[in-house]
Amino acid sequence: MSADTRILLESLGVTGGHTGGTLKVHSPNTGELIGEVVETPVDQAKAHIDTAHEAFLKWRLIPAPKRGELVRLFGEELRAHKDALGKLVSIEAGKVTSEGLGEVQEMIDICDFAVGLSRQLYGLTIATERAEHRMMETWHPLGVVGIISAFNFPVAVWAWNACLALVCGDAIVWKPSEKTPLTALATHALFDRAVAAYKAAGHAMPEGLSALIIGGKEVGEALVEHEKVPLVSATGSTAMGRAVGPKLAARFARALLELGGNNAAIIAPSADLDLALRGVAFAAMGTAGQRCTTLRRLFVHESLYDTFVPRLKQAYASVKVGHPLEEGTLIGPLIDAHAFALFERALDEARSVGGKVTGGARVDVNGKDSYYVRPAIVEMDAHAGPVLRETFAPILYIMKYGNIEDAIAMQNAVGAGLSSSIFTNDIREAELFVSAAGSDCGIANVNIGPSGAEIGGAFGGEKETGGGRESGSDSWKAYMRRATNTINYGRSLPLAQGVTFDV
C-alpha cells in the first residue's frame, strides 16, 4: 500500500482490517495493490446480525428525533473529513476529484434529510364508518436492515439506506462491494466516531447497532438468508437481483432492489442544443459510464441528427481521459479488466450488427494493469443487439427517430426501467414524456440528462431495475412497518360492513 493511502486511511480512523487479509484491493487508477482486507467469517457475520437484532430491540424504543441526533453527528464527521473520504473514493473507485467529493456531499445531504425526517415520521388518521371510533396508522421500526452496495457508489448508496434506517429505528448490517472495502472501512470508522460523540453527550445507545461485514458471495448470502433480517436493500446488477430477490421472497422478507439501467435521452427538434450537448456529455461520459443512471441510448430527431451528432463527437474528442486525481481529468478508469472486456465485447457486437463506432480505444495512462478508454459513440441503424442491454462502460448508442411516439416506444423497449430524459422546448412533448403514456422509468426528466439525481426525490426504477425506491420523498416507509389501529372510545361495538353478531 502506498504511504499516501495509508496516511489517508489513518486520518479517517481506520486502524485495522486493511492489511494482512485475504481480500486484495487494487486501485483502478494504477492497478496497484492498496489493501489486503480481512474478510468476515460467515459465523461472525451471523453473530453480527444477531447482535444487531438485539440492538434493534433497544434502539426502536428511543424517540426518533433522538435517533436523528446520531445521524446529525455522523453528518458532522463527514463534513470534517469530506476531502479525505472523497480522495479515498477516487483512489478505490476511480472517480475524478469532483465526483469523489460529490459522493461524500451526497452522504452529507442524506444525513440532513434524515435528521429532518426524524421529526416527520407520520401516519394518517382515516375517517371510520363507525361512531365513536378512530382509525389511524402508525409506523414502527422494522428490524435489522441488510445493505448490499456496489463499487460505483461505494459509500453514498449505503448512506441513503443507513441514515434513513437509523432514524426509522432499525439496526443496519452492511456488505460492501468486494472491490471497495477500504471506503467502507473508512466510512464505518467515521460512523464509530459519531457513536462515540453521541455516547459522550450522554445518550443511551445499544452496542452493535451498525455492523460491517466484508467478503464475497457467502457473506452476502448470510445476510440475505438470515431470519432476523426483514429487509435487504441491494444495489447491483440485474443478475444479482435475480439471485437475491427469490431468496428473500421465500422467507417473506422485503427486497429493496436497485439494479441495472439502460437509460435513454430523446433530443427533440425544439431542443436547446447547447444545453442538450452538455447534458448528454455529462450523463454519458461522466464516471466513465459507470453509474446506474448513465446515459446509454440517445434518440436524435432526424432533422437535427447531422448538426447535433458531429458536435457531440467533437465534445467526445475533447475530454481528458486520465488519472482521476489529476487536474482537468473528466474520465477516469474502468473499474477492472473484466469491465474492459465487457466494453470491448459490446463494441465488437455493435460493429457486427452494422454499428459505426467513434472512439473506444484503450488509453495507456498508467500501464497495463489499469484500464482507461476513450468513451465511445456508436451510431446504430437499428435499436438492436448490445443496445438492448446494460454494459457498465462509456458507450453511447445513437439512433435517429422521426416521430415522438416512436422514440418513446423505443426508449421503453428494453428490460430496465431506471432513468430517462427528453430535451425539448415543446410543452406537448415534455408533458407527453412524463405522462402515463410516456417514459416507463422511475425517473423521467425534461431538459436535464438521466444521471445525477438529487437525494430529495425517490430513487429507483421499474421492470428489471427491481422496483425499489431509496433516498428521498417517502422512501423511508420501506424501512418501517405499518400498523392500522382502530380505537373504540364508545360503549357499544358496531361491526364494520353492518354485520350483526349478537350473543
Footprint of ligand UN1 (CB under 6 A): 152-153, 157, 235, 291-293, 451-453
Residue closer to ligand UN1, measured from CB, 411 or 419:
419
CA distances from 321 to 152, 169, 324 (A): 18, 44, 8
CA gap 23, 483 in Å, rounded: 43
Rg (CA), the chain: 24
Residue closer to ligand UN1, measured from CB, 39 or 470:
470
Q: Pick from 27, 287, 266, 271: which is nearest to 153 by CA?
A: 287
- Angle between helix 82-93 and 181-200 (nearest 10): 160
Residue 428, by phi and psi: left (phi above 0), alpha (psi -120 to 50) or beta?
alpha
Residues forming beta bridges with residue 463, ordered by sequence position: 416
Residue closer to ligand UN1, measured from CB, 213 or 292:
292
Residue closer to ligand UN1, measured from CB, 298 or 453:
453
Contacts of residue 489, Cβ cutoff 8 Å, sequence gap at least 6? 132, 133, 134
Alpha helices in 369-455 (DSSP H): 404-412, 427-434
Contacts of residue 3, Cβ cutoff 8 Å, sequence gap at least 6? none
Residue closer to ligand UN1, measured from CB, 40 or 439:
439
Q: Pick from 292, 475, 288: which is nearest to 395 by CA?
A: 288
Q: Percent helix, strand and coil across the chain, each rounded to 5?
A: 40, 20, 40
Residue closer to ligand UN1, measured from CB, 150 or 312:
150
CA distances from 170 to 109, 242, 269, 472 (A): 20, 25, 49, 17
CB of 331 to ligand UN1, least distance (A): 16
CA angle at 63 for the pair 57 and 69, rounded to the nearest 5°: 105
Asked if 372 and 324 touch (Cβ cutoff 8 Å), the reply is: no
CA gap 492, 179 in Å, rounded: 63
Alpha helices in 295-417 (DSSP H): 305-318, 337-352, 404-412
CB of 293 to ligand UN1, least distance (A): 4
Residue closer to ligand UN1, measured from CB, 411 or 451:
451
Residue closer to ligand UN1, measured from CB, 17 or 450:
450
Q: Pick from 375, 64, 18: which is nearest to 180 by CA?
A: 18
Buried b (16+ CB within 10 A) or exposed e, 195-232: bebbeeeeeebbebbbbbbbbeeebbbbbbebebbbbb
Instruction: Please indicate whether residue 132 is annotated as part of the active site.
Output: no
CB of 471 to ligand UN1, least distance (A): 8
Q: What is the DSSP letter of 380?
A: -
Annotated active-site residue in 92, 99, 258, 429? 258
Grid coordinates belonging to 248: 428473500
CA gap 458, 455 in Å, rounded: 7
Q: Specify the residue for cell string 422521426.
A: 402
CB of 23 to ligand UN1, least distance (A): 22
Catalytic sites, residue numbers: 258
